[in-house]
Amino acid sequence: MEQGDLLPNCPVLLPPSNLTEVLLTGKEGDDLGVELSIKKVRLVVMSQSCDLATNKIDQVLLCGHFPASDHSKDKRSEIRKERYPALYMIEKCEFPGHEFERQIVDFRTIYALPKDFAMAFAGSLFQCVSRNYALSAQDFQLRSTPQKSDARRCISATCN
């Protein structure tokens, strides 16, 4: 897993609707007795690749992304011109069998997941790539060429 990888259908925990009350009234060590739910979301890895490759971090920083077609043509144009600092457009993928439309990363939609979980989830995506394309793990190591990086991003986004 490296910075910029797309993780489709990644499970995240949603806090309960009364989280504010629970945190403001709870004491350290309390059994909170709250129910969490799981939601599957589209994420992009924001943590730096060098930190992911070492034991420098325990949590992986991720942001949500969504299809650019969710916005009007005018708004997409404004996003592309970087007039919305919290939004960034990534190009469509045309890698055969893994196509997807342009996506918009929303830097305001932030998640942090345990590194062990994120690595295992990403690994399951790349095992899918290996099965489907007979690619070895070395094909997806850090410092890959831009072309490999683009193909890796496309494949990871559509493999799950």
pLDDT in tens, 92-123: 888 776 678 899 999 999 999 999 999 999 88
119: which strand partners?
A: none
Pick from 57, 63, 59, 61: which is nearest to 47 by CA?
A: 61
Angle between helices 115-133 and 146-158 (to 10 degrees): 100
What is the rounded distance in angstroms from the CA atom of residue 77 to the CA atom of residue 119? 34
Q: Rounded to two decimals, what is the model's pTM?
A: 0.76
Residue 137 has pLDDT above 60, yes or no: no
Digit-coded pLDDT (tens) for 21-57: 988 998 898 888 888 899 999 999 999 999 998 888 9
Tell me: pLDDT of 144 over 50.
Answer: no
- The number of beta carbons lying within 10 Å of the beta carbon of residue 111 is 18
Residue at token pair 């457009």:
89
Q: What digits encode the pLDDT tens for the residues 62-92?
A: 999 999 999 999 999 999 999 999 999 988 8
- Cβ contact 73:102 at 8 Å: no
Its sign, for the CA torsion 125, 127, 132, 134, is positive
H-helix segments, the chain: 19-25, 49-53, 73-80, 115-133, 146-158
